[in-house]
Amino acid sequence: MTRNTSIPFTVSKDDNFFDRLGDYIGDVFYDILPEQGFELRDEQIYMAFQLEQAFKNKHTIFAEAGVGTGKTLVYLLYAICYARYKGKPAIISCADETLIEQLVKKGGDIEKLEKALGLEVDVRLAKARENYVCIKKLNPLAEITADEDILSVHDEIPDFVFDTSAVMKSFERYGDRKEYPWVSDEKWEKIAWDPLQQCATCDWRHRSGQTLNREFYRHAQDIIICSHDFYMEHVWTKESRKREGQLPLLPEASSVVFDEGHLLEVAAQKGLTYRFNFENLTNVLTGYMGQDVREESLLLVEDILALNDEWFELLGETAVAVEGSDRQDIPRTDKMVDMARRLNKMVQQLLEQLVFDAELFTMDEYHTKIIEEYLEFFSYGLTILLKDDQGIYWIEENETTTSLVVMPRLVEDVLKKEVFSRDIPFVFSSATLAQGGDFTYLADSLGINSFDSFSVASPFDYEANMKLIGHVEQNPALKWEKIGEQLRANQGHTLVLFSSEKEMNQFRNWADNQEWAFRMLYEGEYEISATVRKFQKEEPAVLCSHNLWEGLDVPGEALTQVIISSLPFPPKDPVFQAKRKHANDPTMEVDAPYMLLRLRQGIGRLIRTTNDHGVIQLWMTEEDKALYQKKIDDVLPVEMNW
Ligand code: SF4
């Protein structure tokens, strides 16, 4: 079947595209959508007019629009029309994989647009690598495990993957986390791609689910939807992939929309993360020693390996556990810095020697490239670590290995250069972008100098439909009892939001010993969109989550109560520790803005349509109340009762 991918209105050669687009958008919002039963919303029309200017002038725009303004329909329509006009897809970057699914789910905004406007939208998903099964991990594990969940995944892998005589033509896409909803997060980690996998040199790569999915989404004509993490990975790896003769992760885009754009900075930092485990350098350099290299190079490699051993040993010995995080801080001692500096210098020398070795034809080109790439990567990470106050670094340990993780503290310069200097429209859309009506905090942190912006409030009648009740409790055991009473009084139908996975598990330990007349669902038990579907369909139920502060869209009676178990302060991890360290007043400059933004997002989960109603139960400690009550009151849609 051929798809109709033409612009949904006529543009003659004397017409200006944007004039015709403006007419079409006017028809859509004033006539076509209301005729199809959609409410005519002034906020939507105002937003449409603002976006038109941004697309016309190829500007960056911050579109802060409250829940229920229908902002997604507006940006989708512009993104699709502009993609067809330019002949390049739009990229829609969402905060995480759950939000990706929300856009494309049955009855979601894309399907609504298709039905109402008679459009066929070619939309494809570009998910982060962790979302695909890794055959290199799954295959050996399936040989030894008795775990039924994992064996069932193995059974579902198509035959061509293991049949080396199969021809490329018969390769179909497979391997998306969503295809295996029965697998818990914990088990998924054992069989999914992880940062230690080297796909470029993997024998399975042509048959890997990840590769086949990438090949598919790359050819989208209208929209590619990815997560912020993936978009940033694309940005940071674009050049090195080109150098290695690979295509960038994403194709050239006509425009980029960042949905929940307030979360982009952290994604950018994560994307620029350098992760080294002790064995990686050893493996790469041992491979090098196996080549026909000169004596001088061999001696240098031996010195590097010895120093790398010593350095990792020191990192392990001095690392300090961070409470509330699985990361360990590394103290910046003179000894550590000195060793890192020496290591970096030697790696630089080796890079120079490599040029000689390659020129002498003692090494093949492919191997030289891989070693060079890795050494440059290693050296770049060390450079960030060595620059005073520029890097954030920590240690992570699992059963098999110790990894050193390094990320830059500030990303604005690199974002300015690599992303926002491009001459295309960038749209930031979220219900929470500004702080006290000001967008500069966000713009500065992302390196955006010039931008348009607007805010439109939610059209919902919160006074009539939402109650907000504040509670103070110091003792967790008593708090769980009282939350239990709130769940029973509402007969389920509740989303419980926790500040961390640890807090959710503490509640679970208590809740597992109670009797419930409704289903208790926990994030991580199954694939996340399957969990959300269960919550929505299997009434009555309670959904406990530490991540669904953003984007969860469950209208109707399935969700009539949101319980916020504690104020959502930022995690105590090195990223936020570094932000705190560089702030004059860490509580008010780092903790409070993050918490207030997340709180607004969490509260936004309750009322999703004009008919929705319910109650927000907000729990906090006595100290939190004393410190933040005034600030919290300022951002609430209705007055809080105690
Ligand atoms: S290409 Fe990467 S994800 Fe695929 S099997 Fe190989 S290592 Fe795993």
Collect all residues with Cβ–Cβ distance below 8 Å to 398 and sequence separation of at least 6: none
Residue 119, pLDDT > 60, answer yes
- Reading the block at residue 106, the tokens are 């049955």
Tell me, yes or no, whether 105 and 251 share the same domain: yes
Q: DSSP label at 641?
A: B
What's the mean pLDDT in 535-549? Answer: 90
Q: DSSP label at 205?
A: G
- When mean pLDDT is compared across 161-175, 435-449, 593-607, 615-629, the lowest value belongs to 161-175
- The neighbour count for residue 617, using CB atoms within 10 Å, is 21
- When mean pLDDT is compared across 93-102, 179-188, 201-210, 220-229, the lowest value belongs to 93-102
In a domain, 641, yes or no: no
In a domain, 44, yes or no: yes
Last residue of a domain, one of 441, 459, 477: 459
Which residues lie with the beta carbon below 6 Å from any ligand 1 atom?
134-136, 193, 197, 199, 202, 204-205, 208, 210
Tell me, yes or no, whether 315 and 339 share the same domain: yes
Tell me, yes or no, whether 473 and 587 share the same domain: yes
Percent of the chain with pLDDT over 90: 40
Check residue 586 and give its pLDDT: 87
CATH number of domain containing 40: 3.40.50.300
The whole domain housing 344 covers 275-408
Tell me, yes or no, whether 297 and 266 share the same domain: no
pTM, two decimals, is 0.79
Tell me, yes or no, whether 66 and 103 share the same domain: yes
Strand, coil or helix: 97: helix
In a domain, 232, yes or no: yes
Tell me, yes or no, whether 434 and 470 share the same domain: no
In a domain, 233, yes or no: yes
Tell me, yes or no, whether 415 and 400 share the same domain: no
C-alpha angle 534/129/225, rounded to 5°?
70
CATH number of domain containing 285: 1.20.1440
**Ligand 1 centre and the CA of 212: distance in Å?**
11
Mutate to test the pocket of ligand 1, among 127, 131, 133, 136 (most ligand atoms within 8 A of CB): 136
Tell me, yes or no, whether 22 and 68 share the same domain: yes
Residue 99, pLDDT > 90, answer no
Beta bridge partners of 527: none
In a domain, 157, yes or no: yes
Strand, coil or helix: 10: coil
Kindly list the distances between the CA atom of residue 580 and the CA atoms of 97, 395, 477, 592, 593, in Å, as whole numbers in the listed order. Answer: 29, 19, 31, 11, 12
Check residue 499 and give its pLDDT: 94
Tell me, yes or no, whether 246 and 112 share the same domain: yes
**How far is 403 from 505, CA to CA, in rounded Å?**
26
Check residue 228 and give its pLDDT: 92
HEC profile of 103-137: HHCCCCHHHHHHHHHCCCCCEEEECCHHHEECHHH
HEC profile of 296-341: HHHHHHHHHHHHHHHHHHHHHHHCEECCCCCCEECCCCHHHHHHHH
Last residue of a domain, one of 219, 235, 259: 219
Tell me, yes or no, whether 591 and 483 share the same domain: yes
pLDDT tens, residue by residue, 404-449: 888 887 788 788 888 888 889 999 998 878 777 788 878 888 889 8
Tell me, yes or no, whether 91 and 135 share the same domain: no
- When mean pLDDT is compared across 5-19, 470-484, 593-607, the lowest value belongs to 5-19
Based on the structure, what is the number of domains in the chain? 4
Check residue 415 and give its pLDDT: 85
Output b/e per residue, 289-315; b: 16+ Cβ within 10 A.
eeeebeeebeebbeebeebbeebbebb
In a domain, 102, yes or no: yes
In a domain, 8, yes or no: no
**Ligand 1 centre and the CA of 544: distance in Å?**
33
Nearest Cα residue to atom 2 of ligand 1: 199
**How far is 77 from 119, CA to CA, in rounded Å?**
10
**Ligand 1 centre and the CA of 199: distance in Å?**
5
Tell me, yes or no, whether 163 and 236 share the same domain: no
In a domain, 533, yes or no: yes
Which residue's entry shows tokens 């937003």?
Answer: 47
